[in-house]
Amino acid sequence: MITKEQATDSLPGASAGLRFAACGALTAILRVQSVDGTVLGVSNGRNLYAFNEVRARALVNLIQVPQSDKVCYFDIAVWSGWYPVHLLWVGTAKQNHLTVFQSEVERQYRTEGLPVLSQCNQG
């Protein structure tokens, strides 16, 4: 039969000092992980926001892109892949005022204009 003391002892045979040290080490690891994860998340969040803003500006202003650069802009800034199929999806999003085609957002990105993508402006 297990005694009450044995049932509550998570590390049988370990001294109180060892349990305290193990708990302290675990707490330290969790704190470091939390701080590093938060810093990395905020940093990556800013980068992702900037990247998505360029993509949105390119998509909203796609009509201004010269025909020779249109596929490049679409593949790099908007959606890599087969251009004609994705262009149909853009038409659906625009027709239904989804995401960047909501009135205020679209107006803001149109005002900011087409982003310059050095990969596409070779000629």
Per-residue pLDDT of 15-37, as tens digits, reads 878 888 888 999 999 998 888 88
CA-CA distance, 21 to 12, in Å (whole number)?
A: 15
CA-CA distance, 77 to 86, in Å (whole number)?
A: 13
Between 94 and 29, residue with greater pLDDT: 29
Q: Which amino acid is at 45?
A: G
Check residue 91 and give its pLDDT: 67
- Per domain, the residue ranges of the chain are 15-112
Say which residue the tokens 């892949």 belong to: 81
Say which residue the tokens 């251009």 belong to: 83
- CA 51, chain centre distance (Å): 9
Report the chain's mean pLDDT, rounded to a whole number. Answer: 77
Say which residue the tokens 């982003």 belong to: 115
CA-CA distance, 12 to 51, in Å (whole number)?
A: 53
- CA 29, chain centre distance (Å): 25
State the pTM of this model.
0.55
CA-CA distance, 14 to 7, in Å (whole number)?
A: 14
